[in-house]
Structures are given as C-alpha cells and as structure tokens.
C-alpha cells in the first residue's frame, strides 16, 4: 500500500535525526519539571482545582510534554515543510504524482508522529513517573484507549495544520498564520493550563473547540478524569473534529488545485 | 508501450494562458492586470520524438510544461497528451508521464535513494519485473550503484539529478518532460545525462520534451527545436533550419598562396576579415558553399580552406532579440 510506505518513510525520516531527538527529549523533560513544580505550587494553594487532585495535575503536565512533539503544536511539524513547498513552488512536483495530496501528507505526518510519540514521549513520561507521584492507570486497556485518543489527537492536529498550510496557496507567506495557529493550539489544547480550571463559560467553550482534542481529551483519558461513557464521548468528539477538519481541508485543497498558480519556477 | 511511432502524442492547438496579477497602484488601490504567459501556441509532437524547447527566461516554457502535465489549466485552446486532457485528467495522465525539474527534486530528502524508488514503485503500481528491469538499467547507465544507500541530502547536484531522472523513468512513461536537466552540472555529469537521454529516446522510444538554456543539450540530442519568446512560438523546425532561419552566416576561411587584397566580386559573399594570406568570407547559411569554393579556386591561388557553421547561440540570441524579421512559426508541414 502506497500510504503505508509513505507513513513508514515519515517515521524513518525523523528517526534518522538522533541528536535532534535527544535534544528534544532533554527539552521536554526540563519543561516537564518546570511545569510540574508550577502545578505543585498551584495545587498546594488550590487543592482540587478543576476537579484534579495533585497527582492528576502532574500527570496532565507530563502527558502534555509527552504529546507536544507528536501533535506538533509549537512548530508546524511535517506540515511546515508542505507550507514551504507551496511557497517556493516545489509543490508542483507533488502535484505531478498520481497520489492524493492530503492523504499523502496525512500518512507522512502519522509516521512522523508515531516516531515522536515513541522517541520523544516515552522518556519524559518515564522520568516524570520516577520523580513525581503520577495518577497513571494500572489496566492495559486504559493505556490502549489513551493511545487511541493520542492517535486521534495527531489526526486533528494534522487536519488543523493542513488548513494552515493550504492557506499558503492564497497567502503567499503563511508563516504569520502558522504562528497564530501555534499559539492557539498551545493555549486551547490545555498545554498552558488544563481547560477544566478556567471559569465556567470560557472553560466550557474552550473544551468544545477542536484544540481540546489535542491534549485535554487524551490527558483526561489517561489520568482517569474521563471514565466509561465519558471516554467514548471524548473519542467521538475527537473523531468528529477530525472528520470535519479533514473535509474542510479537502474542500480547500480542491479549490486551491483548481486555481493553482504555482509560484516561481 | 502502446501506439505506433509517428502518431501525434502531444497536441497543442491555439493554447493560451492568461494570469491575472494584482498590482499595487497607490496606497490601498490594487489594479488587476492580465499577463499573457502564452498565446496562440500550436504544435504537435509525434510519438518517439525528442524535441528541444527553448526560450529566454519568462518566455512561457515552464507554463507550457505545467499545462502539458495538467497542473495549470489553459485559459483557451485545445491540449491533448496521449489522448487525455491534462488538467481534467491530471492523475490518470500522471501515471503515463515522467517529469524532471532540474531545480526541484522528487526524491525523499532525508532517506536513501533506493527508498524513493521503492515509493515510486508503489505510487505508480509498477509490476515487479518491469520495476526491477528498469531500475537495473537506470542504475547501470547512470552509475547509481554506489549511491542507492546514500541519503539524498548527501548527494552532489549531479548525483541527485541522475537520481531524479531515474525516478522519473521507473514507471515506463510514454512522455518525459525535462525542465533544465543539466542546470548546474559539470561537463562529465552533463555528458552522462545526455547519453542516457539519447538511449532512453532511441531504445525505449520514449517521447522527450526538453527545456534548457544549454544549447549544447539541444545540439547533441534534438533534431527538432521549438523556440518560444514572449509566449509565442517563433520557430519550430529542424535544428539546422534554425541556423538558416536565424539568418546566420557561414564563414569560408581561405588560405591563399600569398597576401592579396580582399577578395571581392563573388556573388552572395563578402570578405569580413583579412590577415596575411588568410581571408574570411561570410555567406548566407542557407546557401551552398560549393559554387563559392569553386569561384574562389578559379580566380585565386588557393592553398587550403575550411567552413565554419554559424554559432547556434548567436542565432538564438538574434531570435530572442527579435532581430529576425519574418521568422514566425512555419506551418507544421510534413509533421
């Protein structure tokens, strides 16, 4: 299957950069400590803030660091490359392929995320579990549900970044939009602070936005704030946004290819 | 490969492409302006031919290729490649064509060359036997053997280019579009690429449309050449015809027994330079040299002679500058 090969290639591409991965792991771990100690200070002052106990809050912090690279919230991840290809006209090469652009990049991004979940997620999480008292599940199937939720988080994150990248067909330089989108993802995913601790109205709206699918939902599945039917509702919420955003990306893509004016070249 | 040699594979009839560009006109005002990248473009390329497509920067070469591959939609006219309308059936057509952009790469940057080929195999669903045979042939002719395990980012430009050309041919395309395949390459790499293209064209019967700024590519590979300038075809015909059409002059260099005054009085020729016993006579490229040689030999003590062909670059420079009146695209008779 072509797209499996693309995904495998995406995985191996990122796997070749070992020093970069090590540096990333180091950064994620250091930030994990910083966020964890901030949360300890906060939860000492306000126990059960947002309904989390301290162990759950710390689990949230380390889950955030573990998923940061895989969901490519800060930088564009593999999609920054697509944006650059549109800007400099290399996209012409991609359009000559008998393959669907969105599926191609989704496959490549899933491969990348797969590597970064293992390469940059496991170590920070393990370090966090060694130094702090985390609320990690004992049963394998909760871990399974978490991985499923993390996978959907990657798809939603891809769908959002794809929209930003395809917008470059109209914007010429989409880097401003990428920065705004990155900031929105950092805040509305719960990476800065869990969305549940925000005041009622705002917090509830924030939890309905697509970015909540990136961290808030998978973290809640892992740390046990979502159980039973709430897990299913969380997964449906993620899958729903994935479908809507991928469809939107597809619409934008066909509008873009219809009007294609490949820059340069 | 289906279809007989000689059947029209690429048909372009009265094609135009108009870009709408927005230009600043004052602080907030923007004016829409139409830019004609290509107009009235008409030509056909029979199956199995290798055609040079040349023109100065911005003449419309890349626009033409993008329309032929379907990633740009023409604003008007009719365009068919292998019987398909490229912009409507881009993906179907993509399986039957190969494209090489000298300045862009289709290869997977961070991974070994062979991974990209593996991907091509899956993308074009190339049958195993054909894939193995094609890969072997490309590897051998383009000296790719030692490079297959090297990540593409570590390849030199010449190596990468060879890798890209091979990638474009693994699925046995009927047409190969090459956009500046020798740009930036050293003499040896250029020679290797040319030799390979010649072999692909003659042995495999692959139709090739070659865009280049390096006229040596054209001289060594293409019998037919099309020249585009300002979006219009200004010449379409044989390469040697281009010299005549460009009003190029050939030069007859004669060595006489001794120093003599400039030769004159010969019909159609004029003496352009004298240096001791050697004299240079210019005459139209379209005219036979034989009567001139005979006339010189009859009247002067001739020791030796040689004929110099007009420099193709000069001819084309004159075409681009519009200094050749009346050289429009000749009717495509006989093709």
What are the helix (H) ranges across B205-311? 215-221, 239-245, 290-299
Spatial distance between the Cα atoms of B175 and B9, rounded to a whole number of angstroms: 8
pLDDT at residue B63, rounded to an integer: 87
For residue B69, the chain A residues in CB contact (below 8 A) are 96
Instruction: Enumerate residue ranges in chain B where pLDDT < 70.
Output: 1-6, 244-248, 311-312, 322-335
Instruction: Report the run of H or E that residue B30 belongs to, with start and end.
Output: strand B30-46
Please list, in sequence order, all residues whose beta carbon lies within 8 angstroms of the beta carbon of residue A56, skipping any fewer than 6 positions away.
A135, A223, A224, A225
Helix (H, G, I), strand (E, B) or coil at B171: coil
Stretch 15-54 of chain A: residues touching chain B, C-beta under 8 Å: 16-17
Instruction: Kindly tell me if the per-residue pLDDT of A63 is higher than 80.
Output: yes
Taking the CA of residue A74 as centre, how many other CA atoms within 13 Å lie in the half-sphere pointing to its CB? Answer: 9
For residue A97, the chain B residues in CB contact (below 8 A) are 94, 106, 123
Instruction: Kindly tell me if the per-residue pLDDT of A227 is higher than 50.
Output: yes
Domain that holds residue A16: 2-262
For residues B76 and A244, the model is more confident at A244
Spatial distance between the Cα atoms of B203 and B201, rounded to a whole number of angstroms: 6
Please list, in sequence order, all residues whose beta carbon lies within 8 angstroms of the beta carbon of residue A188, skipping any fewer than 6 positions away.
A195, A206, A209, A211, A212
Say yes or no: B99 contacts chain A, CB-CB below 8 A.
yes
Say yes or no: B101 contacts chain A, CB-CB below 8 A.
yes
Q: How confident is the model at residue A260 (pLDDT cuts 50, 70, 90)?
A: low
CB A108 within 8 A of CB A191: no
Beta strand B249-256 with B270-275: parallel, antiparallel or unpaired?
unpaired
Instruction: Kindly tell me if the per-residue pLDDT of A208 is higher than 90.
Output: yes
Global pTM? 0.81
Chain B: closest CA distance from residue A112 (Å): 13
Report CA A55 to chain centroid distance, whole Å. Answer: 23
For residue A263, the chain B residues in CB contact (below 8 A) are none
Give the residue from A13, A18, A97 with the most B CB atoms within 10 Å of its CB, the best one to mutate. Answer: A97
Chain B: closest CA distance from residue A2 (Å): 5
First to last CA, chain B: 22
Question: DSSP secondary structure string, A146-185?
Answer: HHHHHHHHHHHHHHHHHHHHHTHHHHS--HHHHHHHHHHH
Cβ contact (<8 Å) for A96 and B71? yes
Say yes or no: A12 contacts chain B, CB-CB below 8 A.
yes
Instruction: Report the run of H or E that residue B234 belongs to, with start and end.
Output: strand B232-238
Here the ipTM equals: 0.79
pLDDT at residue A76, rounded to an integer: 58
Say yes or no: A138 contacts chain B, CB-CB below 8 A.
no
CB B134 within 8 A of CB B170: yes
Instruction: Kindly tell me if the per-residue pLDDT of A166 is higher than 50.
Output: yes
For residue A9, the chain B residues in CB contact (below 8 A) are 108, 111, 115, 119
Tens digits of residue pLDDT in A98-125: 888 999 999 999 999 999 999 999 999 9
Number of domains in chain A: 1
């Amino acid at each position: 299957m072509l797209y499996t090969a693309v995904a495998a290639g995406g995985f191996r591409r990122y796997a070749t950069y070992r020093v970069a991965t090590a540096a990333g792991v180091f950064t994620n771990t250091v930030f994990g400590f910083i966020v964890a100690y901030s949360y300890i200070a906060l939860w000492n002052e306000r126990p059960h803030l947002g309904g989390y106990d301290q162990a759950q809050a710390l689990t949230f912090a380390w889950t955030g660091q573990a998923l940061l690279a895989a969901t490519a919230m800060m930088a564009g991840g593999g999609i920054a490359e697509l944006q650059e290809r549109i800007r400099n006209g290399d996209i012409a090469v991609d359009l000559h392929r008998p393959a669907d652009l969105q599926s191609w990049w989704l496959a490549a991004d899933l491969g990348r995320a797969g590597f970064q979940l293992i390469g940059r997620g496991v170590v920070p999480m393990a370090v966090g579990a060694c130094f702090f008292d985390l609320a990690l599940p004992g049963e394998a199937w909760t871990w399974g549900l978490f991985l499923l939720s993390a996978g959907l988080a990657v798809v939603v994150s891809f769908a959002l970044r794809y929209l930003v990248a395809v917008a470059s067909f109209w914007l010429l330089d989409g880097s401003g939009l990428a920065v705004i989108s990155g900031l929105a993802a950092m805040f509305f995913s719960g990476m800065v602070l869990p969305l549940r601790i925000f005041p009622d109205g705002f917090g509830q709206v924030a939890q309905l936005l697509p970015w909540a699918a990136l961290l808030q939902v998978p973290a809640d599945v892992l740390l046990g704030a979502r159980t039973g039917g709430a897990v299913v509702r969380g997964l449906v919420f993620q899958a729903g946004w994935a479908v809507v955003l991928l469809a939107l990306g597809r619409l934008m893509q066909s509008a873009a290819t219809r009007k294609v004016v490949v820059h340069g070249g | 490969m289906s279809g007989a040699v000689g059947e029209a594979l690429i048909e372009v009839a009265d094609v135009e492409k108009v870009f709408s560009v927005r230009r600043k006109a004052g602080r907030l005002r923007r004016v829409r302006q139409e830019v004609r990248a290509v107009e009235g473009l008409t030509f056909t390329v029979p199956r199995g031919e290798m055609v040079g497509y040349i023109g100065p920067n911005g003449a419309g070469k890349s626009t033409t290729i993008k329309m032929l591959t379907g990633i740009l939609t023409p604003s008007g006219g009719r365009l068919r490649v292998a019987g398909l309308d490229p912009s409507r059936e881009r993906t179907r057509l993509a399986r039957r064509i190969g494209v090489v952009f000298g300045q862009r790469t289709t290869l997977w940057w961070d991974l070994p060359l062979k991974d990209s080929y593996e991907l091509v195999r899956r993308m074009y669903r190339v049958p195993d036997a054909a894939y193995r045979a094609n890969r072997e042939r490309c590897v051998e002719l383009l000296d790719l053997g030692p490079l297959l395990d090297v990540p593409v980012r570590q390849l030199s430009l010449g190596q990468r280019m060879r890798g890209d050309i091979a990638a474009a041919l693994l699925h046995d395309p009927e047409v190969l579009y090459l956009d500046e395949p020798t740009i930036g390459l050293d003499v040896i790499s250029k020679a290797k690429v040319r030799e390979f293209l010649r072999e692909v064209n003659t042995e495999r019967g692959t139709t090739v449309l070659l865009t280049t700024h390096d006229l040596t590519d054209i001289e060594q590979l293409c019998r037919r050449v099309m020249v585009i300038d300002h979006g219009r075809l200004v010449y379409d015909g044989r390469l040697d015809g281009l010299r005549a059409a460009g009003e190029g002059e050939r030069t007859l260099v004669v060595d006489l027994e001794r120093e003599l005054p400039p030769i004159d009085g010969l019909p159609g020729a004029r003496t352009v330079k004298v240096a001791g016993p050697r004299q240079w006579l210019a005459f139209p490229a379209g005219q036979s040299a034989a009567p001139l040689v005979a006339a010189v030999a009859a009247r002067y003590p001739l020791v030796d002679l040689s004929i110099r062909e007009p420099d193709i670059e000069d001819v084309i420079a004159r075409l681009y500058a519009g200094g050749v009146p009346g050289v429009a695209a000749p009717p495509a008779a006989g093709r």
